[in-house]
Amino acid sequence: MKPITSAVALCLLIGIAGCQSTPHQTSSDNPTDEQSQSYALFTHIQTTYQQWDETLTDVESFKIYSESHYNKLQDAWKDAQSLYQEIQSDPSRTTESVSIFSSQTYADKFNQYIDTIEQQLNQLQTFKEKADHFLADAIAEMDYLTKIDAQQYDRRAYKRVNQLYHDLFEYVAEDKLEKAQTKQVAFLNLSRSLEVKVMRLKYVQPLQKKLTLLKQEDFNEVAPITFAKANHQIQLVEATVQSNPRDITAIEKAAQSGQFEIAHLEQVTHMVKQLRSIEDGQFEPIVLEIENKLLAISQAIDHSDFRDQVLREQTNHILESVATLQQLAQTQQENWQAKNTAQQQNNQKLQTALTEAYQQQQTLQKQLLQEQTHIKNLETLVTRLKSQQSPSKAAPQPEQNKLGEAADKSPASQQTESENLQAQ
């Protein structure tokens, strides 16, 4: 039995060795062509790898549309990266088989991974188009929760909302659109209640905690009127949050008023306690301190001093001075605005005049060019007329030529002609 087993094992080894030696024999017949083919394939693989490496830079944003497809894409990309590193270290492997039991080459295997990546990405893009349409409200709501940092204020509630949000995309990926729409309504109700909770935790709760601490220190008994006013203002902040949690401007304004009323409560309580602590009716230092504060204000306004009047009258005079100062400032501003308006009107008139002057200048310049052209044409015409008259004056008449010739003859020649006539 053992010899038979050994013989079978030996035959298998010989067969495997033969399989391994066959490609090497073929490649040794024409090594140059195979090497060229390997490097050509590697160049193509390298280009493909670089393109996909750039394409998948922001692929994580597709994860929410289908986590399963996203994971398949990532797994295929990791395999492609690992295989590419092997090929990059030895480009001649491109045409080699990935194993002795497979005829698939490294290039084929790499392309197989790329095909998987492309299929998964196309599927994710399809899911994205569908989800962006059907889940537009949920997407906008989740963006707003991120904007107000809801996770920081209530992690548990945010985690629940976030899970519902991810489930919506799975329903769309599974083509369960009706269920996705129904669940989206539930998601919006829960997320909007989280909005209110976040606004309360951010704007209302700090004021309530502060007022509770002041109540523990009996501020509500020392200054009950001011305490009630501060409490009412905090209730207004609460009402603003409940009615419109997205009106951040109104909420912040109400919260600032609440902070002011709490600070006012602290100041009034401090003053009341200070008055209560006075022994034997020694109120003069307190009165003088108040007078000095009012004096500093009146001196800063117009160097006035109203200390010869009761405190209430001093306050009224200071208010009148402030009103006068404001009226003066308003009058000066109105005068400046009037001057500025007049200046702007003058500038506009000057601009209009400059524009008209420029247009007139252009018109005159155009007329001047026309006159210059006309003068030039006249000069050309005169020159032509002169050139036509010059030849007629220079050519003599026939009779005048004869007379001229006769006049030009000498007396000797005239005598010779006379003798010839007599001989005849």
Q: Return the pLDDT at 280.
A: 65
Q: Confirm if 45 and 92 have CB atoms less than 8 A apart.
A: no
Q: Confirm if 196 and 242 have CB atoms less than 8 A apart.
A: yes
Q: Return the pLDDT at 414.
A: 47
Can you say whether residue 303 is alpha, beta or left, with left for phi > 0 and alpha for psi between -120 and 50 degrees?
left
Assess whether pLDDT exceeds 90 at residue 419: no
Selected residue with higher pLDDT from 284 and 32: 284
CA distance 245 to 192: 9
CA distance 358 to 240: 62
Q: What is the mean pLDDT of the chain?
A: 83
Torsion, CA 251, CA 254, CA 260, CA 261, rounded to 10: -130
pLDDT in tens, 38-93: 788 889 999 999 999 999 999 999 999 999 999 999 999 999 999 999 988 888 88
Token pair, residue 352, equals 């209009």
Average pLDDT over residues 7-26: 39
Q: DSSP letter at 30?
A: S
CA distance 99 to 296: 95
- Kindly report the number of other CB atoms within 10 A of residue 73's CB atom: 23
List, in order, residues 6 or more apart from 137 with CB less than 8 Å away.
184, 188
Over pLDDT 90: what percentage of the chain?
Answer: 47
Selected residue with higher pLDDT from 252 and 405: 252
Q: Return the pLDDT at 308.
A: 83
Selected residue with higher pLDDT from 13 and 87: 87
Taken in order 80, 83, 89, 91, the sign of the CA dihedral is negative
Question: Which SS3 state, helix, strand or coil, does residue 102 take?
Answer: strand
Closest CA to 223 of 260, 270, 258, 278: 270
Q: DSSP letter at 105?
A: E
Average pLDDT over residues 222-241: 94
CA distance 47 to 342: 70
Token pair, residue 170, equals 């799975």
Over pLDDT 70: what percentage of the chain?
Answer: 83
Average pLDDT over residues 273-277: 82
The secondary structure element, H or E, covering residue 107 is helix 106-134
